Amino acid sequence: MATREYQGRKFDYQGINPVVDALTIEEALQININGKPFTLSMRTPGADPELVRGILHNEDIVNTPGFHPEVKLGTEKEGGVVTVAHVEIPEQFLGSGYTNSRSLLSVSSCGICGKTELGSQDFGPALASDVSFSAEKFTDMFDQMNKKQHDFMQSGGTHAAALFDRKGQLIVAREDIGRHNAVDKVVGQLLLEDRLSEAKAMTVSGRISYEITIKAFKAGIPFMAAVSAPSSLAVDYAKEFGITLLGFCRDGRATCYSTPNRIDNTRAHTINTKSP
């Protein structure tokens, strides 16, 4: 279960009443690599192997998408909550995200927290894609994702990420208390299934940060869409990476901040496109 019930008292115009609310679980997951602690992720339990595999890919800890190290889970707390993941990675598969010796702290609120510096990286050439979507198609994508947000319906406390194929059909959706964790989970799922190349668009339930933009780029996903706003740095990176980034995707509307040429503007009145 991704939620736990908590008793409380509700104060409103009707007075004070006892309530029982379902709250989203947040637990620490320590990831050990080659017998040593490497990172601590605050996440919602569930799909932990996918989360770990996504982190290994998105942080360039494993240097090839075709290598899938076994993820051994252990040290369960009461209720079967896994608290440690052990991964063995041969030296030839270790990427710069491991060898630069930075300790990562992945928390539920902010993907950059715990890192000592942004640093400069050569990410490679911008993404090229022959895929296009209409603005209204993103409304349909969010509808598809929302139907999979079962934990959110119970608690109101989870974020979601979803990946879609070139026709805008849902491939996978995951929830987590952390926005970055949800993205890592969907990417990790398709990596494990050797289907990541099918993903052409990503939707997220909250805002888009620069780190989520980098995760999309590393996964080769040319479209990103969010319910709320992107950060300025997310837009800057999206322009550099060749990602079509849309924010404020609500009620059939969206705002495109980068690479708008991939948007099918047959019905241009449905989208407010800002110049990149």
d(CA 83, CA 172) in angstroms, rounded, equals: 25
Q: Which of 23, 58, 60 is nearest to 44 (CA)?
A: 23
Among the options 84, 110, 131, 229, which is catalytic? 110
Is 251 assigned a ligand-binding role in the annotation? yes
Q: Looking up tokens 């707390």, which residue turns up?
A: 77
Listed in sequence order, the residues at least 6 apart from 13 whose beta carbon sits closer than 8 Å to its beta carbon are none
256 carries an active-site annotation = no
Residue 114 backbone dihedrals phi, psi, to 5 degrees: 90, -15
Residue type, 212: I
Asked if residues 54 and 48 have their Cβ atoms less than 8 Å apart, the reply is no
Q: Which residues pair with 153 in a beta bridge?
A: none
Asked if residues 164 and 199 have their Cβ atoms less than 8 Å apart, the reply is yes
Is 249 assigned a ligand-binding role in the annotation? yes
Asked if residues 160 and 175 have their Cβ atoms less than 8 Å apart, the reply is yes
- Parallel, antiparallel, or unpaired for β 244-250 and 253-258? antiparallel
Burial 237-268 (b: 16+ CB within 10 A, else e): bbbebbbbbbbbbeeebbbbbbbbebbeeeee
Asked if residues 267 and 245 have their Cβ atoms less than 8 Å apart, the reply is no
For residue 196, give the DSSP letter: G
**Catalytic residue positions?**
110
Numbered residues of the known binding site: 248-253
